[in-house]
Amino acid sequence: MARVIVVTSGKGGVGKTTTSAAIAMGLAKRGHKTAVIDFDVGLRNLDLIMGCERRVVYDFVNVINEEATLNQALIRDKNCNLLYILPASQTRDKDALSQEGVGRVLDELKKDFKYIVCDSPAGIEKGAHLAMYFADDAFVVTNPEVSSVRDSDRMLGILSSKSRRAEQNEEPINEFLLLTRYSPERVKLGEMLSVDDVQDILSLHLLGVIPESKSVLNASNSGTPVILDEKSDAGQAYADIVARYLGEERPHRFIDDKKGFFRNLFGGK
């Protein structure tokens, strides 16, 4: 049975597209046929992070408007044969998406894919609502700062009340917390919220913590999902998240200030 995953947040710039690319790649690398869809019509970025921007011929809106078939628009990833990308349109606006059209595309994808990852735009406008409407699971991405957490809390209200599952009185969407750009050193200095602070506010199951890392920017610039950088902390953190989502037990990493621990151990400051 196919699962539809929405990667969402209330605030922009928290790492949703980076997360969507990494999660989709991680699922595909573990043997699951996966599609990732860019819902950010007009501000297409997923194709850049996936390194397939020059291969885009048809897009999500073309498929919805029946100007192209799904097979014409899907782009097979260059690093994994089980991963496909459905890019957004750069020339249309958010109103180009319709609930009926999105539902039809997702139903067609479900026939052939195990996981469908929906990369949601920020905010609560139409594209974001449609990205989450059909979801089975939601990855709520937030930074450890007050405005980001507050906006994520608002998204939880929408997930629980305006999804298809809520309207049809079915089991609620499974909600998971992904905390990005986390720095234990800055938490210790009181410059950002701790993991416990965020969980106290949102009361979500913590799927993983992504540390602040230059490797995320490097991966984005090179058009490669950061999860493929297995030597980086961020790449390892995303691999852990995929494993936990698939039911594996893995200890949480990148939460403690290791540098601080070693400084204290050797009498440093």
pTM as predicted: 0.92
Percent of the chain with pLDDT over 90: 81
State residue 42's pLDDT score: 77
Mean pLDDT of 231-242: 97
How far is 62 from 56, CA to CA, in rounded Å? 12
Distances (CA, A) of 82 to 31, 166, 228: 7, 31, 15
How far is 93 from 155, CA to CA, in rounded Å? 22
- Confidence class for position 258, pLDDT limits 50, 70, 90: low
- Please write the tens of the pLDDT for every residue from 64-104: 999 999 999 999 999 999 999 999 988 776 678 899 999 99
What residue type is assigned to position 214 of the chain?
A: K
Mean pLDDT of the chain: 91
* Residue 247 pLDDT greater than 60, yes or no: yes
How far is 138 from 8, CA to CA, in rounded Å? 7
